[in-house]
Amino acid sequence: MRLPRVRALRVADGKAVVVDGTTGDEVWSRARWTEIDVADPIGKVKIKAAYDAEHIYLLALWNDEDVSLNRYWKRTGTVQFERYAREDGFAVLWAPGSDADAFAEKSCALYCHDGTHAIAASHRNVKSVDVWYWGAQQTGPMMTLRDMALRGGADRLRGDGQPERSDNIENRSAEFEGPRYFPLFVNPGSTRILRAKNLTEVKRSTLEEKIPKARGREVPLEIVRERKGSRGDVRAKARHVKGKGWVLEMGRLLNTGHSDDQPLAPDPLVTTRFAIAIYDDAGSGEHATSGPIELVFVASE
């Protein structure tokens, strides 16, 4: 079966790609869309790719009528909260070079099964899998997505162990099942993006005093901030057109120099394989996935 092929087009000399979530850069007017099938209800995702001497760029477009920023604690009593963890998202999984042929048949299923990230027995030699994750709430407000390396254990892929300071801060109390920090001057139903400023830290004993009880009040699950180190290698910016869908633009160095990133070579004789996943108001294990996709580098169309 012939795999869908995305042709990465060379950026013209003297031109540049600005990662801003728009399609206005010169190269995007020349690059060709490739339609990728994913499971319903998304249907199809359109992908373009471009490159210059140092960077790879991806542009993704998919249907989604509404924005989902549904990662929050909902207050149901004085110290009672319900946890919701859903958002719109997009992921790219790069096939390690040693598994490129097998990946062509099974795509993400080569490593993940039923959300447990179990590695098939024949592929437990995989050291790590490079994954990019953009989330409308977790990474959307910033200029970098979450660049992860899922590492192989005895039979599973595990988190990459990046230090806490390299990513968002979990907003969870150590004293009760609920948030540790409350934003100031935020009313129920207002923004669910929580930044590392204007925060009130509360303890169980002072919760009612500092934050008068308001049932239904929503407090974000994390404090968002720019990712650092290898976690922040991929620049990304998205734009949502209400009633239509998302436009997501991403850019990364072809070779970051980090051992947990998949290096990419702009060689027309080299084919790289990857897959994508779409999260539509979804949690971490709920996503529509593509089959394997080929990426090739071309000088012109």
Taking only the tens place, the pLDDT of each residue in 57-105 is 999 999 998 999 999 999 888 888 999 999 999 999 887 654 455 444 5
Q: Which residue in the block uniquely carries the two structure tokens 């598994």?
A: 99
Query: What are the residue ranges spanned by the domains of the chain?
Result: 5-66+84-159+229-298
Q: Which of 118, 95, 43, 37 is nearest to 291 (CA)?
A: 37
Beta bridge partners of 275: 93
Tokens 């934050």, located at residue: 211
- DSSP letter (8 states) at residue 221: S
Place of tokens 């024949």: 122
3-state secondary structure of 229: helix
220's tokens: 């974000």
The chain-wide mean pLDDT, for the chain, equals 81
Q: Determine the 3-state secondary structure of 159 from DSSP.
A: coil
Residue with more model confidence, 236 or 96: 236
CB 96 within 8 A of CB 126: yes
Cis peptide before 41 (omega within 30 of 0): yes
Residue type, 195: R
Confidence of residue 152 (pLDDT cuts 50, 70, 90): low
pLDDT at position 98 = 46
For 29, the enclosing helix (H) or strand (E) is helix 26-30
Size of the chain in residues: 301
pTM score, two decimals?
0.87
10-64: pLDDT as tens digits: 999 999 999 999 999 999 999 999 999 987 667 789 999 999 999 999 999 999 9
Cβ 65 vs Cβ 47: under 8 Å: no
On whether the CB atoms of residues 291 and 96 are closer than 8 A, the answer is no
User: So what's the pLDDT on residue 114?
Assistant: 42
Q: Select from 97, 112, 91 the least CA-distant residue to 36.
A: 91
Q: Is CATH 2.60.40.1190 the right assignment for the domain spanning 5-66+84-159+229-298? A: yes
Cα–Cα nearest to 36, from 245, 236, 277, 252: 277
| Secondary structure E strands in the chain | 5-10, 34-37, 44-51, 55-63, 69-75, 81-94, 128-135, 146-152, 157-158, 169-170, 181-183, 194-195, 199-201, 218-220, 222-224, 235-241, 245-253, 272-282, 288-289, 293-298
Question: Strands 235-241 and 5-10, how do they pair?
Answer: unpaired
CA distances from 57 to 60, 251, 266, 278 (A): 10, 4, 12, 18
Q: Which residue bears the tokens 């949690």?
A: 283
Sequence-ordered list of residues with C-beta below 8 angstroms from that of 208, at least 6 positions apart, any chain: 78
Nearest to 186 by CA among 176, 171, 203: 171
